């Protein structure tokens, strides 16, 4: 069909209007279902060109067939058209697929692709759509088309090398590469996996040359299976593709538990056991490198849930060797086998019981007994390793069946030994202990006596030196725990009971008991003894307080007593008050009488006073007494002496009591003085107290102007103490006052034109007499003379804390003054204090104020000067502060602050604020002048507005992103530049072109940028405009991709098979973690058999898919029994399909529950000759695999033994049972019953076995030696039946 041809264009624009017989179509029609036809998907004579006029609707029709009905997908290059807003897809039965475009545009022109796919495969068809401008292809339209950069193709661009499809197995390669090569250089390509772009990261890598583009898929997994497309956007979406299929990795099996070395005995069962990590692994057993066949009746091989066992039914010496278990297929390298050593040894006899030791007395009989396993087991008896030879009289050996006895009569002491019994493979031993016939050789004396706390000994002697001897006191066993009572064994049967430090309670009866060694007979000997009372600890009586006089003898008497019989000497120790022991003859004399002791202190002193400790002790204890002793002496001097209240003829003397009053109360204190004025006077008593109570006294009749010193002595009944003299200077007799100290410097608190309020510190010392009044003196500036200003009495001044406040008046306004103060008492005026600071007599407080017109508002353009020039006044002189928007201004590069003053009595000052070049951001605001002094605060403000362009808008963000437009919003500028915003300018830049284009203008802070190209990246900016100009733009952050805001969902969770039968499976899987921004519409369940690719098995809907909170479940029908399948899940939303989920493990389509069904064709009767072998091998279907039971009317239930071998082998969908009859006998004939059973039911069949006594068949096997004869007889030649059976089983299992 030629492009541009009128009739052809009309025909393809809407095929319903043509004469080819196809039905009409329009945009509002709905789809009608397709009909299944054929098998593989096919296109029927598809058109490869369609055309349309710009602005009109176009419909592209393709005829297709396929069974099941194929799925249809439309693409433009690699872009799925499902999400295109101007595209729509229909189906029209029985076999038409339709793609429509609404109001076609020039950019719709290009190459398109339609894919159809069912379980038999996938095919695609490429076609082109041409769009002409309205009015036809005249010269003007051709020029318009040439202006579009997309059509300026100066060279033909095509692929000269395309990717090659790859099929790999997971885990066998590190990476897979797809390479595409272009016919020209300098182009940019993008790779897509199932229409999703591939990005560089841990999964994908890229290697690009000028014309070659390579995609590297790292560590391919089954989820990486799919179509990979390389697309050149700038070449009208020129694409090429390659398909990658990643097969699941082979399983790897290993051993969870390995074999261990075993030891066994002949004729005993030996079991070898190991465990594989997957029950599905198959293993073989080997002995010394030769396979152990499952048919060998000497062995039993099992595999139960991965636990593999090999049982040697009855071990033989020849079974010793190396055994090995090997995984047949998919074993881990280096870990696919496990070995062990088996050691079989001959069976040894053993005793069934052990010898037990015997204890007998002289002349008694000892009998040793034990049992053996076998009646004929030989047993020999030994005494201390020497074989015992019976004499038939005293020593007898008895053998009765499985019992063996050794009898020794009239035992002697010499018979004590170790008795041993030995047999082949076992031995046992036990002691024989022959004891004395015991008795007392020597007993205890009938009576004994001792003194309390002394030692007493009891002796006995017995015949048996090893016999125990137990001692008792008054019938109770002796208590040896405290060590006071001892029992000693002196050897040769001699024993001693020793009681150390006997006590009165020990008196009574002592007995000794010993066994006679015959039965329970006990022998006893006794002795009575008494204990005499011993001495006790001494006890002293009371001794009252003792007084004495220093340097004179001091005696004291202390009574005491000691009861009981004397056993030790008395010891007396005396300790003084200082804790030291007195030395007798030096410090004191001690005399001991029968009932008292006399203690005399030698030459005592006052320091010997205190508590004396007297200790009297003997061997039994001690007694202590404390005696208060007071040695009296003269008192010590008073501790201090001082003088107070000094006047011209008297004073008061104070003192503190002596530290020690000498042991007797103070009677009086005597004050003495000495007149130091003349220099030759002596100490003379001048006053004394009546008793020892007062601690001060007034001393009178002293001479005025003289100097004195004083001291004090204390007196008690023993005598007078040493004196205590006053410290410090001599005391001058005079009255205690003088003229005051100078006053402090006056502070001027307040003033006016005619007065001043002053405050000053009072004198540090008032001279000893109260202040009567103050004198304020004043001096004018430039006058050198101080004059009395005012006299203030105490009533005219007031106290201000530690200061004195006073007022002076009569000042002249405008004059400058200084002040000073004198204090006056009865001793006279003080010296003048320091002068005050100078002051001017004037008004102190005048509120701050501006002189003149004040401050005013200013509006100016950026860069013009700002200046304020103001005069102000106030008292005291105010401080001046300039503020802008509440922040203090200071001198800097942009601002100048100046301050000038006039020389007048009252303040007049000039402040100038100057900003040469105004800046809006810095200088716009409210300016305030603040004047502050003690009289108050004054403020005046004005606004300064510096005009400028606005600041840039704020917080630009996209509110809605679509393929062809973006809605933007922002906040107005923080500053409009001092004049209202008139509009906003919105522009965008296509990242590919790098050119900024005006999108629109807006008077509100939002706008919509239209005319975008889908799939392109854009940057946006917005500027604000006022009458001063245009602001700086604000940009969006990262480039914005013009696309719809939803993507395919993430992959679903790995499906799990939760149920199955022979035609379907039920899958359960987790929902995708991310739905891609649009609800998931449905799921595609794909299946793959062992040799094919992935096909859609089911598309879910509300009827065939059940959803829970996090999981979904669906049943997949249409499976073929006996085939292996894998399954995976794809989630679908409006944006398309997700990545496939991980696939399931291979699953065999089979029954989950099937009652047993025995293969009757293999269950015929058998005829066999006597001593020949017969066998049945029968298959039975069933799930789970059935369990078999063989039964014979004579032998009952059959199991493997020397006459029969019963084996079972499971396969997928059932089990095989084998029964082998070895060396048939007439008793083996009859009807055998086979029962197969599982949880779903059971089935039985009967099989007849005929055993012939002689040859009654002339078949080819017997006549010609033909082993292929069809008769039922068995053959016992070189090829045993077991070999035939084993090979048959191996073939059968391998076939499954």
Asked whether the beta carbons of 915 and 908 are under 8 A apart, the reply is no
d(CA 804, CA 792): 11
Asked whether the beta carbons of 204 and 191 are under 8 A apart, the reply is yes
pLDDT band at 345, cuts 50/70/90?
A: confident
Asked whether the beta carbons of 229 and 192 are under 8 A apart, the reply is yes
Q: Output the 3-class SS for 536-599.
A: CCCEECCCCCEEEECCCCEEEEEEEECCCECCCCCEEEEECCCCCECCECCCEEEEECCCEEEE
**Range 607-610 contact pairs with CB under 8 angstroms and sequence separation of 24 or more:** 607/631, 608/576, 608/577, 609/577, 609/663, 610/576, 610/577, 610/578
DSSP β-ladder status, 1082-1089 and 1124-1133: antiparallel
DSSP 122: E
Average confidence (pLDDT) over 443-469: 85
Residue 7, pLDDT above cutoff 50:
no
pLDDT value, residue 196: 83
pLDDT value, residue 143: 43
| Residue pLDDT, tens place only, 349-398 | 888 888 988 888 888 888 999 888 877 678 889 989 898 888 888 899 88
| Residue pLDDT, tens place only, 604-618 | 888 888 888 889 888
Q: Which of 1058, 1072, 1087 is nearest to 1152 (CA)?
A: 1058
* β-sheet bridge partners, residue 563: none
Asked whether the beta carbons of 485 and 479 are under 8 A apart, the reply is yes
Q: Which of 962, 980, 1106, 971 is nearest to 1046 (CA)?
A: 962
| Residue pLDDT, tens place only, 1159-1197 | 887 777 888 888 888 888 999 988 888 999 999 988 899
pLDDT value, residue 150: 40
For residue 881, what are the CA distances in angstroms to 458, 577, 746, 939, 1181?
120, 86, 33, 10, 108
Selected residue with higher pLDDT from 84 and 145: 84
Residue 870, pLDDT above cutoff 70:
yes
Instruction: Please report, to the nearest 10 degrees, the dihedral formed by the alpha carbons of residues 949, 952, 958, 959 taken in order.
Output: -70
Residue 145, pLDDT above cutoff 80:
no
d(CA 593, CA 562): 13
pLDDT value, residue 550: 82
Weakest mean pLDDT among 111-120, 238-247, 371-380, 939-948: 371-380
d(CA 984, CA 1025): 6
pLDDT band at 339, cuts 50/70/90?
A: very high
pLDDT band at 1271, cuts 50/70/90?
A: low
Give CA angle at 769 (767, 773), nearest 5°: 95
Residues near 70 by beta carbon (within 8 Å), at least 6 away in sequence: 41, 64, 116, 117, 118
H/E element holding 139? helix 139-146
d(CA 713, CA 126): 141
d(CA 85, CA 88): 8
Q: Which of 355, 357, 360, 358 is nearest to 379 (CA)?
A: 355
Q: How far is CA 783 from the centre of its chain?
A: 91
664's tokens: 């007797």
The mean of the pLDDT values for the chain is: 85
What single string gives the DSSP state of each residue in 801-831? Answer: TTEEEEEEE---TT-EEEEEEEEEETTEE--
CB atoms within 10 A of CB 995: 8
Average confidence (pLDDT) over 276-299: 90
d(CA 465, CA 1140): 97
Instruction: Please report, to the nearest 10 degrees, the dihedral formed by the alpha carbons of residues 30, 35, 40, 42 taken in order.
Output: -50
d(CA 301, CA 316): 18
Weakest mean pLDDT among 431-435, 989-993, 1268-1272: 1268-1272
Residue 80, pLDDT above cutoff 90:
no
Tell me the Cα Rg of the chain.
Answer: 66
Q: Which of 318, 409, 323, 314 is nearest to 360 (CA)?
A: 409
d(CA 297, CA 614): 108
Strand order through the sheet with 696-699: 638-644, 651-658, 696-699
CB atoms within 10 A of CB 67: 15
pLDDT value, residue 151: 41
φ, ψ of residue 1019 in degrees (nearest 5): -115, 140
φ, ψ of residue 1287 in degrees (nearest 5): -65, -35
Average confidence (pLDDT) over 515-538: 85
pLDDT value, residue 23: 45
Residue 1258, pLDDT above cutoff 60:
no
3-state DSSP assignment of residue 85: coil
Share of the chain above pLDDT 90, in %: 29
H/E element holding 1095? strand 1095-1099
Asked whether the beta carbons of 689 and 668 are under 8 A apart, the reply is yes
Residue 137, pLDDT above cutoff 70:
no
Write down the pTM of the prediction: 0.30
pLDDT band at 1272, cuts 50/70/90?
A: low
pLDDT band at 1263, cuts 50/70/90?
A: low
Residue 153, pLDDT above cutoff 50:
no
Residues near 1267 by beta carbon (within 8 Å), at least 6 away in sequence: 1261, 1275, 1277, 1279
Asked whether the beta carbons of 64 and 95 are under 8 A apart, the reply is yes
891's tokens: 């001198």
936's tokens: 């108050």
Residues near 1012 by beta carbon (within 8 Å), at least 6 away in sequence: 963, 964, 965, 966, 988, 1018, 1042
| Residue pLDDT, tens place only, 788-836 | 888 999 888 888 888 999 999 888 888 888 999 999 987 788 899 999 9
DSSP 1228: G
235's tokens: 């070449």
d(CA 321, CA 868): 117
d(CA 287, CA 319): 9
Selected residue with higher pLDDT from 527 and 1104: 527
pLDDT value, residue 155: 62
Q: Cis bond leading into 1158, ω under 30°?
A: no
Residue 850, pLDDT above cutoff 70:
yes
d(CA 1176, CA 1158): 13
H/E element holding 1294? helix 1281-1295
Weakest mean pLDDT among 78-82, 369-373, 1222-1226: 78-82
Highest-scoring range by mean pLDDT, 138-152, 676-690, 898-912, 945-959: 945-959
Indicate the burial class of 1125 (C-beta count within 10 angstroms; 0-12, 13-18, 19 or more).
Answer: buried
pLDDT value, residue 1021: 94
Average confidence (pLDDT) over 704-721: 89
Q: Considering Cα of 360, then 363, then 364, then 368, what sign does the dihedral take? A: positive
């Amino acid at each position: 069909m030629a492009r541009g041809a009128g009739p052809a264009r009309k025909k393809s624009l809407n095929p319903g209007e043509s004469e080819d017989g196809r039905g009409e179509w329009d945009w509002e029609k709905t789809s009608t279902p397709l009909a299944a036809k054929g098998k593989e998907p096919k296109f029927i004579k598809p058109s490869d060109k369609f055309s349309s006029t710009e602005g009109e609707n176009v419909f592209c029709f393709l005829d297709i067939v396929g069974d099941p009905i194929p799925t249809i997908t439309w693409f433009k290059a690699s872009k799925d058209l499902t999400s295109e807003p101007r595209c729509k897809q229909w189906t029209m039965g029985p076999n038409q697929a339709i793609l429509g475009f609404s109001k076609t545009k020039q950019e719709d022109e290009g190459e398109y692709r339609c894919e159809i796919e069912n379980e038999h495969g996938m095919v695609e068809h490429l076609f082109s759509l041409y769009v002409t401008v309205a009015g036809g292809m005249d010269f003007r339209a051709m020029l318009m088309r040439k202006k579009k950069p997309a059509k300026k193709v100066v060279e033909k661009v095509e692929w000269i090398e395309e990717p090659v499809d790859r099929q790999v197995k997971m885990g066998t390669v590190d990476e897979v590469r797809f390479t595409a090569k272009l016919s020209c250089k300098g182009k940019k390509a993008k790779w897509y996996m199932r229409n999703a772009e591939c990005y560089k990261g841990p999964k994908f890598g890229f290697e690009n040359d000028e014309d070659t583009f390579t995609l590297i898929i790292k560590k391919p997994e089954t989820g990486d299976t799919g179509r990979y497309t390389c697309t050149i956007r700038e070449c009208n979406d020129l694409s090429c593709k390659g398909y990658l299929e990643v097969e699941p990795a082979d399983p790897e099996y290993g051993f969870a538990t390995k074999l261990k070395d075993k030891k066994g005995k002949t004729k005993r069962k030996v079991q070898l056991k190991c465990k594989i990590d997957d029950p599905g692994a198959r293993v073989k057993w080997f002995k010394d490198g030769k396979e152990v066949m499952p048919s060998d009746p000497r062995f039993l091989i099992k595999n139960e849930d991965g636990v593999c066992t090999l049982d040697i039914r009855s071990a033989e010496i020849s079974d010793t060797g190396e055994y090995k278990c090997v995984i047949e297929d998919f074993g881990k390298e280096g870990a696919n086998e496990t070995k062990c050593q088996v050691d079989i040894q001959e069976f040894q006899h053993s005793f069934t019981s052990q010898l037990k030791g015997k204890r007998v007395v002289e002349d008694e009989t000892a009998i040793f007994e034990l049992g053996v396993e076998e009646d004929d087991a030989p047993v020999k008896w030994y005494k201390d390793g020497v074989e015992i030879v019976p004499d038939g009289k005293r020593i007898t050996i008895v053998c009765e069946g499985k019992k063996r006895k050794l009898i020794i009569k009239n035992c002697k002491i010499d018979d004590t030994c170790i008795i041993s019994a030995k047999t082949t493979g076992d031995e046992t031993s036990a002691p024989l202990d022959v004891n004395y016939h015991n008795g007392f050789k020597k007993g205890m004396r009938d009576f004994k006596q001792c003194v309390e706390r002394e030692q007493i000994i009891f002796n006995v002697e017995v015949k048996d030196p090893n016999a125990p001897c137990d001692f008792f006191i008054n019938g109770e066993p002796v208590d040896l725990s405290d060590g006071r009572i001892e029992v000693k064994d002196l050897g040769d049967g001699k024993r001693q009971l020793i009681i150390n430090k006997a006590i009165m309670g020990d008196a009574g009866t002592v007995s000794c008991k010993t066994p006679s060694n015959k039965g329970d007979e006990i022998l006893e000997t006794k002795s009575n003894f008494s204990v005499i009372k011993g001495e006790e600890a001494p006890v002293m009586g009371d001794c009252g307080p003792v007084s004495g006089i220093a340097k004179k003898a001091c005696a004291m008497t202390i009574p005491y007593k000691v009861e009981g019989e004397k056993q030790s000497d008395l010891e007396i120790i005396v300790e003084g008050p200082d804790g030291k022991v007195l030395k007798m003859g030096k410090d004191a004399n001690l005399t001991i009488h029968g009932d008292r002791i006399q203690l005399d202190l030698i030459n005592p002193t006052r320091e010997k006073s205190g508590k004396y400790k007297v200790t009297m002790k003997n061997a039994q204890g001690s007694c202590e007494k404390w005696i208060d002793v007071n040695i009296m002496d003269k008192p010590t001097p008073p501790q201090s002496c001082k003088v107070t209240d000094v006047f011209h003829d008297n004073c008061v003397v104070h003192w503190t009591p002596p530290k020690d009053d000498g042991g007797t109360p103070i009677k009086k204190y005597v004050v003495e003085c000495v007149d130091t004025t003349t220099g030759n006077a002596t100490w003379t008593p001048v006053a004394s107290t009546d008793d020892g109570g007062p601690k001060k006294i007034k001393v009178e009749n002293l001479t005025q102007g003289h100097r004195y010193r004083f001291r004090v002595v204390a007196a008690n009944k023993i005598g007078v103490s040493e004196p205590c003299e006053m410290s410090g200077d001599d005391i001058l007799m005079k009255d205690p006052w003088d003229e005051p100290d100078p006053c402090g410097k006056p502070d001027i608190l307040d003033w006016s034109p005619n007065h001043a309020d002053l405050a000053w510190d009072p004198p540090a010392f008032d001279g000893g007499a109260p202040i009567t009044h103050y004198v304020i003196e004043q001096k004018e500036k430039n006058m050198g003379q101080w004059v009395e200003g005012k006299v203030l009495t105490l009533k005219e001044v007031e106290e201000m804390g530690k200061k004195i406040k006073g007022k002076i008046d009569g000042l002249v306004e405008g004059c400058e003054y200084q002040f000073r103060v004198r204090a006056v008492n009865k001793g006279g005026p003080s010296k003048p204090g320091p002068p005050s600071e100078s002051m001017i007599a004037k008004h102190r407080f005048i509120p701050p104020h501006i002189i003149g017109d004040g401050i005013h508002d200013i509006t100016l353009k950026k860069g013009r000067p700002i200046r304020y020039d103001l005069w102000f006044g106030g008292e005291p002189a105010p401080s001046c502060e300039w503020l802008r928007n509440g922040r203090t201004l200071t001198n800097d590069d942009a601002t100048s602050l100046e301050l000038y003053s006039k020389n007048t009595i009252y303040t007049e000052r000039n402040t100038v604020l100057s900003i040469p070049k105004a800046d809006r951001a810095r200088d716009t605001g409210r300016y305030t002048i603040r004047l502050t002094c003690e009289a108050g605060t004054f403020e005046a403000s004005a606004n300064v507005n510096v005009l400028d362009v606005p600041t840039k808008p704020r917080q630009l963000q996209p509110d809605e992103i679509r393929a062809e437009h973006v809605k933007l919003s922002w906040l107005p500028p923080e500053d409009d530049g001092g004049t209202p915003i008139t509009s906003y300018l919105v522009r965008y830049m296509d990242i590919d072109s790098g050119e900024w284009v005006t999108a629109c203008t807006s008077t509100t802070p939002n706008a919509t940028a239209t005319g975008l190209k889908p799939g392109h990246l854009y940057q946006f900016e917005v500027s604000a405009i006022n009458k001063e100009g245009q602001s700086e733009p604000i940009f969006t952050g990262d480039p914005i991709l013009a696309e719809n805001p939803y993507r395919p969902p993430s992959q679903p969770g790995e499906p799990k098979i939760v149920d199955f039968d022979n035609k379907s499976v039920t899958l359960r899987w987790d929902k995708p973690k991310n739905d891609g921004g649009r609800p998931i519409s449905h799921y595609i369940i794909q299946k793959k058999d062992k040799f094919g690719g992935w096909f859609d098995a089911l598309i879910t809907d509300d009827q065939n898919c059940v959803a829970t909170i996090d999981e979904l479940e669906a049943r997949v029908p249409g499976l073929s029994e006996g085939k292996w399948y894998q399954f995976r899940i794809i989630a679908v939303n409006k944006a398309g399909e997700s990545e496939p989920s991980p696939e399931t493990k291979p699953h065999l389509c089979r029954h989950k529950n099937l009652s047993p069904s025995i293969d009757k064709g293999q269950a015929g009767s058998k005829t066999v000759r006597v001593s020949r072998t017969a066998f049945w091998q029968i298959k039975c279907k069933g799930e789970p695999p059935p369990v078999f039971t063989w039964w014979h009317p004579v032998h009952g239930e059959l199991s493997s033994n020397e006459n029969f071998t019963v084996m079972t082998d499971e396969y997928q969908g059932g089990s095989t049972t084998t029964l082998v009859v070895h060396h048939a006998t007439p008793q083996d004939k009859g009807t055998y019953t086979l029962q197969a059973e599982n949880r779903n039911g059971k089935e039985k069949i009967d099989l007849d076995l005929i055993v012939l006594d002689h040859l009654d068949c002339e078949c080819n096997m017997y006549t010609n030696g033909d082993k292929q004869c069809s008769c039922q007889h068995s053959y016992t030649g070189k090829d045993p039946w077991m070999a035939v059976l084993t090979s048959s089983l191996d073939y059968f299992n391998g076939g499954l």
